[in-house]
Amino acid sequence: MSVLENLSSVRERIRAAALRSGRRDEGIRLVAVSKNMGVDLIKEALGCGVSCFGENKAQEFLKKYPQLPPELEWHFIGHLQTNKVRKVLSAVSLIHSLDRWSLAEEIHRVASETNKKAQALVQVNVAGEESKYGIAPAEAEDFVAEVTRLQGIRLRGLMTIAPECEDPEEVRYVFRQARELSRRLEERIQGLKMEYLSMGMSGDFEIAVEEGANMLRLGTAVFGRRY
């Protein structure tokens, strides 16, 4: 399957899932996860109307992005080391993976040097998986409240990764809890606007859409299998 065919099928599935939950698909953003994919394939996706790409490894990203047109929008979606913050920040428009206080401080520090606000989502580890990064839901309110006090960060919402499952129905609760957490945080923290809920990957994005996702991170479904 070509990227074009993959995309048309993905868009159709997003639309159907949105309809099932009484929503429209216009407000749902697709982030094409281009990790492990070469520049040519990214250009192919660009030619098919994809404008936003996600990468999860700083080194790979920093090597790739200068080879691509500047109008492209990049999101960083992986665990980010503090010593890579400066370079990554200068090239991305959104960090999905704000997962610890030391990273928040470093992003704030670097962005403040130029009076900028870096845009970020807080990554929450809803399922409590040991192998995954992210803030525990029980700690999310304190963490988010602290982050909103940092001048250098503009918090835009939450991101979560569901556990891998044969049957994506099993992880519906993860998406539902993330959405409820997002709503609760908005209620409890003054001035906080949670605009984005980044959840849903190739194996589970329809369930994520049904549960309120408005930013999907899709790799395999767009580009095919990674080798």
Ligand X SMILES: *Cc1c(COP(=O)(O)O)cnc(C)c1O
- Which residues contact ligand X (rule: CB under 6 A)? 33, 35, 56, 77-78, 161, 201-203, 217-221
Spell out the residues 6+ positions from residue 65 whose beta carbon is closer than 8 angstroms to its own.
55, 72, 74, 91
Rounded Cα distance, 31 and 33, in Å: 6
Q: Which of 159, 188, 189, 191 is nearest to 175 (CA)?
A: 159
Six token digits for residue 115: 């009076």
* In the complex, least distance from residue 91 CB atom to ligand X, rounded to whole angstroms: 18
Least CB distance to ligand X at residue 162 (A): 10
> Closest by alpha carbon to 173, among 199, 144, 142?
199
Q: Pick the closer one to ligand X by CB: 53 or 143.
A: 53
Q: How far is the CB of 219 from ligand X (least distance, A)?
A: 3
Q: How far is the CB of 52 from ligand X (least distance, A)?
A: 13
Whether the CB-CB separation of 143 and 101 falls below 8 Å is answered with yes
Report the residue number, 201 or 213, with the smaller CB distance to ligand X.
201
| Position with the least CB separation from ligand X | 219
9 forms bridges with which residues in the sheet?
none
Nearer to ligand X, 152 or 208 (CB): 208
Nearer to ligand X, 92 or 221 (CB): 221
